[in-house]
Amino acid sequence: MTLHQPNSLEARDVAYQLHPYTNARRHEEIGPIVIAKGDGVFVEDVDGKRYLEAMAGLWSVAVGFSEPRLVEAASRQMAKLPFYHTFTHKAHAPAIELAEKLIAMAPVSMSKVHFTSSGSEANDTIVKLLRYRANALGQPEKKGIISRIKGYHGVTLASASLTGLPNNHNAFDLPMPGVFHTMCPHHWREGREGESEDAFATRCAEELEALIEREGAETIAAFIGEPVMGAGGVIVPPATYWEKIQAVLKRHDILLIADEVICGFGRTGQMFGCETYGIEPDIMTLSKALSSSYLPISAVLINDRVYQPVADKSGEIGTFGHGFTASGHPVAAAVALENLAIIEERGLVANAAAMGERLQAGLAGLKDHPLVGEVRGVGLIAGIELVTDKGAKLAAQPPGSMAAKAFGLIQERGVILRAIGDTLAVCPPLIVEAGHIDRIVQTTREGLDALAASM
């Protein structure tokens, strides 16, 4: 089927959908690839072409695309209680059990879970919780939040403000007041000539401290960061970075939010990115691999420092005035519980560690490619940054054009990656096997060779 056949899915898509993160005019010209089904690490389009989904959808389908246990868990819960809410002293077993499970799994002592349905909603909720807490504590000035250039935290007005990418700010009149961005910890791009990772991390921490002192620590509630930056281009923190950042935050009594939306549940080779990097957060954001994205669900974990003041304050009408109809949705919660059971029973975190080593070693072999500037990653997440001149680290003009072409050439060859600026991202399902990893690496090389030959 093609776009030019009237009534094809492609033509109807162009006729009726405005897509997220898509160039609308270009979409009118080229139309979509319509995905019909998925199994394991593969998806198949309506014409029967199969792709190895090396991005796990949107960094999210941990257990693969056709897990019958998740279908059964959803169907069981649908039949029993398809919906109930968690407002005004109501509860149901799936949300209770999932909250208990997440508190038990958390890498640091956490007190309570608040459910939402997307990463953006979760981070938006955190911004509001911090305002509420500051008011409760009688510190109405202490509401500012620091995030990082190239951090990704979502697209609602508050979470898009936390995100540190121009595409999410410029045409939306963002960021909103009270959000500050500190430097991106990308040693290869931002490090000075001869500067060690350790020295660079010191500079990152000093810049953060200078920002805090400029704004006044009494006006800053929290710092938010992904253990490894994902959607900003897969940026792995330099050695000693998190240790130094946390020391600055402690000194100024600023809470730490770990946005584990991508890193959580095994991606970095340990259950949480916080464990991989020795991060001790006060608040955690979880989503994506929480349910393998089979249904939308996200969670905000808070420790007692956050919970107690919030619990003490009851708003003007005696309640915490925040919550979504679908908060803690029972079917999504039941699917998440089953998904976490599968991750544990099948040892998918250990698989991510083992397959991650194979992926990183395989991709490291691309470093000698004339178009590859840097290969970076940890566990089952990696980025390959393309350049036109290796020595000068020169990016393509216009920016991102080379990675977009490489992405297309690789996709034609049956492997789906993601182009983020000049970087190709790789983030396969946690069930990935050695043969799949080898195919991802091999196909990426072939795509890059084809690109080099065309230039």
Q: Which residues bind ligand PMP (CB under 6 A)?
A: 58, 118-120, 123, 152-154, 226, 230-231, 259, 261-262, 287
d(C-alpha 452, C-alpha 156), whole Å: 39
CB-based closest residue to ligand PMP: 119
φ/ψ region of 163 (left if φ > 0, alpha if ψ in -120 to 50, else beta) reads: beta
Min dist CB 159 to ligand PMP, Å, is 7
**For helices 434-454 and 401-412, what crossing angle results, to 10°?**
120
Q: Which is nearer to ligand PMP, 127 or 262 (CB)?
A: 262
| Amino acid identity at 378 | V
Q: Which is nearer to ligand PMP, 150 or 203 (CB)?
A: 150
User: What residue spans of 279-421 are helical by DSSP H?
Assistant: 304-312, 330-345, 348-364, 401-412
Which are the contacts of 179, defined by CB distance < 8 A and separation ≥ 6? 144, 145, 146, 147, 161, 162
Min dist CB 18 to ligand PMP, Å, is 17
Min dist CB 14 to ligand PMP, Å, is 23
Q: Which is nearer to ligand PMP, 308 or 324 (CB)?
A: 324
Which are the contacts of 309, defined by CB distance < 8 A and separation ≥ 6? 133, 136, 137
Cross-strand partners of 144:
220
Compute the Cα dihedral for 254, 255, 259, 265 and give only its sign: positive
Min dist CB 411 to ligand PMP, Å, is 20
Min dist CB 312 to ligand PMP, Å, is 29
What is the side-by-side strand order in the sheet with 144-148? Answer: 112-116, 298-302, 283-286, 255-259, 220-225, 144-148, 179-182
Q: Which is nearer to ligand PMP, 144 or 154 (CB)?
A: 154
Query: What tokens appear for 107 in the block?
Result: 């890498």
Min dist CB 221 to ligand PMP, Å, is 18
Q: Which is nearer to ligand PMP, 94 or 119 (CB)?
A: 119
110: Cα within 13 Å, side-chain hemisphere = 26
d(C-alpha 276, C-alpha 106), whole Å: 13
Query: What tokens appear for 307 in the block?
Result: 């919970």
| Amino acid identity at 441 | V
d(C-alpha 383, C-alpha 424), whole Å: 6
Min dist CB 118 to ligand PMP, Å, is 3
Q: Which of 169, 172, 259, 176 minimizes the C-alpha distance to 222?
A: 259
Min dist CB 243 to ligand PMP, Å, is 21
Q: Which is nearer to ligand PMP, 152 or 242 (CB)?
A: 152
Q: Which is nearer to ligand PMP, 381 or 406 (CB)?
A: 381
Residue 48 and residue 41 in contact, taking contact as beta carbons nearer than 8 Å: no
Q: Which is nearer to ligand PMP, 120 or 270 (CB)?
A: 120
Q: Which is nearer to ligand PMP, 261 or 440 (CB)?
A: 261
Min dist CB 263 to ligand PMP, Å, is 8
How far out from the chain centre does Cα 173 lie?
23
